[in-house]
Structure 1
Amino acid sequence: MDSSTLSSKKVLIVYAHQSNGSFNAAAKDAAVEALTAHGYTVEVSDLYAMKFKAAATAEDIIGEVKNAEHFRYAEETKLAWEEGRLSADITEEQRKVTGADLIVFQFPMYWFTVPAIMKGWFDRVLTLGYAYSHDKRYSRGVFKDKKVVLSFTTGSAESMFSANGINGDMNVTLWPLQNGILHYCGFQVLAPQIFWAPSHILPKARKTLLDDWRTRLQGLLGEEPLSFTSMDCFDGEGFQLKPEVHEKHATKEFGLTVGIHLGKPIPPHNQMKAGV
């Protein structure tokens, strides 16, 4: 990749932590520094600093709603998006997403998922029509030319998020986020950057984690994404696996993915590493 190509690449970091002294803040700063040094244009949405509204409500629409008696957020925001009547904070985030080649979500894992303020970002920014539709989702999704990565901290050790650990397999934990939100909108989902329990390790070890992140960031846009099952493998009515696809995998040891497992063991590292 030549320097002229690099300079045209844009990265959006959606960041959710309350403290500038946190490890998440350090990871965000490391990403900004590494990506900028590598020639990318970087924009940060600091959700807490922005006081980003988490709740999806009728306030997200400028002017009258179509059906106030039975308000349906997806349909109303689709209409508002088409007519240019979404609230300014939503349209600003959509502008950033549209311009980005890569989006990094930086956050501490809360209750096995993203913090409420970041979930609100997903709920409000990825509106029907703009981010997905019946015809444009999953492998045919709107953002199929964009890459995305989850970068987050845990409160528990890696061993606790294993197939034998008390928290359960991290691959399963990540499926709703990576498949149900990101891949659903068509994003190419890169392997997550997980900082395992940084609050329980020494400062020197935390520095090593950040150095490793900086190194990875230099080649992030060139990484292969995680594997998901193409929409072409499903019929167009009930969206069930086509018989020939099911038959092809009938004798295999593992299922297709974490979610589409065919009643078989989950393929190892399906939501954690590419090319496995």
Structure 2
Amino acid sequence: MTDAHIVSAHPEPQSFTAGWARASVDAVRALGGVAEHSDLYALGFDPAERGTLYDTADIAERRFDPLKVQQDAAARGALPSDLVEQVSRIKRADLLILHFPIWWFGPPAILKGWMDRALVHGVMHAEDARFDRGPCRGKRALICVSTGCSAVECRPDGREGDLRLLLWPLAQTLRYCGFDVYEPVSVHSVHGFHEPPQRLALEQRLSATLAGQTDLLAGLEQRPLWPFNRDADFDAEGRLLPDAPSHSPFVRHV
């Protein structure tokens, strides 16, 4: 088993999401890997990127430019301490596992903020180091997500919308940094409004998911990767070539 960084985003320590993240930690260690876990809520991670988090020396102009400030701070070894820890964990890990629920058709704000801040410009990506040349190439990522709605409602024809499309911006962010991204793992109808006997059935289903996490991670090499276009699929202006495949409505022929 490779070394992993597990990042989880749920404010309740006894939630299924939190338990699922702990199951990933246990599974990585049981398989002989090293697991580091960042529970963003427990850490009190600040998701709002802004100039006051940096030394004033990093802000050469009155206007705060996040990309320039991140790059300059990283080059000087002056990143905020919370980012130093997160960057180190990402660098050490061969596998990044994200655990979170879908809230309002996207991940919780704290996870989006983690990506805004921890995927530091100049370290995890740069203008000439992204996508196929991203610094995280060779690393892989797995998204483990829960929804409150049913699996049917998360289909392309479901009333909640296609879950893959909701997750695509997050997956594309990882791809931008060079990660290969596995097909996501999703668990549905996870909410606190079930009544017996539905509640018992839910608890049994969730328990089976937790118990099966070791097998899931042990079999990752056989799990399909989420398909993305390669750099060679685009022309010099960044437009999809006519004969290149389209893997998503987000990047398609028009």
Question: Is the pair's TM-score, using the shorter chain for normalization, greater than 0.5?
Answer: yes
Equivalent AA in structure 2 for residue 143 of structure 1: C
Unaligned regions of 5+ residues in structure 1, if any? 1-5, 250-254, 264-276
- SS of the aligned residue for 2:212 comes to helix
- SS of the aligned residue for 1:198 comes to coil
Structure with the greater relative contact order (CA < 8 A, sep ≥ 6): 1 or 2? 2
Q: Deviations over 1:82-128 (max 9, x none)?
A: 11111111011000000000010111111111111111110111121
When the two structures are aligned, how many residues end up with a matched partner?
A: 246
* Counterpart Cα distance in 2 of 1:139 and 1:223: 20
Counterpart of 1:57 in structure 2 is 50
User: Pairwise CA RMSD of aligned residues?
Assistant: 1.7
Shift of 1:213: 3.1
* Counterpart Cα distance in 2 of 1:219 and 1:248: 31
Shift of 1:68: 4.2
Counterpart of 1:204 in structure 2 is 204
Counterpart of 2:249 in structure 1 is 258
Equivalent AA in structure 2 for residue 21 of structure 1: Q
Alignment of 1:1-276 (within 5 A): 6=1, 9-179=2-172, 181-199=173-191, 200=194, 201=199, 202=201, 203-221=203-221, 223-236=223-236, 238-242=237-241, 246-247=242-243, 255-263=246-254
* Counterpart Cα distance in 1 of 2:184 and 2:137: 18
Shift of 1:241: 2.2
Shift of the 71–17 alpha-carbon distance from structure 1 to 2, 3 Å rule, reads same
Shift of the 92–160 alpha-carbon distance from structure 1 to 2, 3 Å rule, reads same
Paired-residue identity, %: 30
TM-score by length of 1: 0.84
* Counterpart Cα distance in 2 of 1:69 and 1:47: 30
Shift of 1:145: 0.7
Unaligned regions of 5+ residues in structure 2, if any? none
TM-score by length of 2: 0.90
* Counterpart Cα distance in 2 of 1:48 and 1:241: 39
* Counterpart Cα distance in 2 of 1:108 and 1:221: 25
* Counterpart Cα distance in 2 of 1:240 and 1:124: 28
Shift of the 38–160 alpha-carbon distance from structure 1 to 2, 3 Å rule, reads same
- SS of the aligned residue for 1:132 comes to coil
Equivalent AA in structure 2 for residue 135 of structure 1: D
* Counterpart Cα distance in 2 of 1:261 and 1:163: 17
Shift of the 221–121 alpha-carbon distance from structure 1 to 2, 3 Å rule, reads farther
* Counterpart Cα distance in 1 of 2:222 and 2:28: 13
Q: Deviations over 1:135-158 (max 9, x none)?
A: 211122111110001111101111
* Counterpart Cα distance in 1 of 2:169 and 2:244: 26
Shift of 1:248: 6.1
Shift of the 126–213 alpha-carbon distance from structure 1 to 2, 3 Å rule, reads same
Shift of the 66–224 alpha-carbon distance from structure 1 to 2, 3 Å rule, reads same
Whether the 8 Å contact between 1:81 and 1:129 is mirrored in structure 2 is: yes
Equivalent AA in structure 2 for residue 240 of structure 1: R
Whether the 8 Å contact between 1:12 and 1:97 is mirrored in structure 2 is: yes
Shift of 1:219: 2.1
- SS of the aligned residue for 2:58 comes to coil
Equivalent AA in structure 2 for residue 261 of structure 1: R
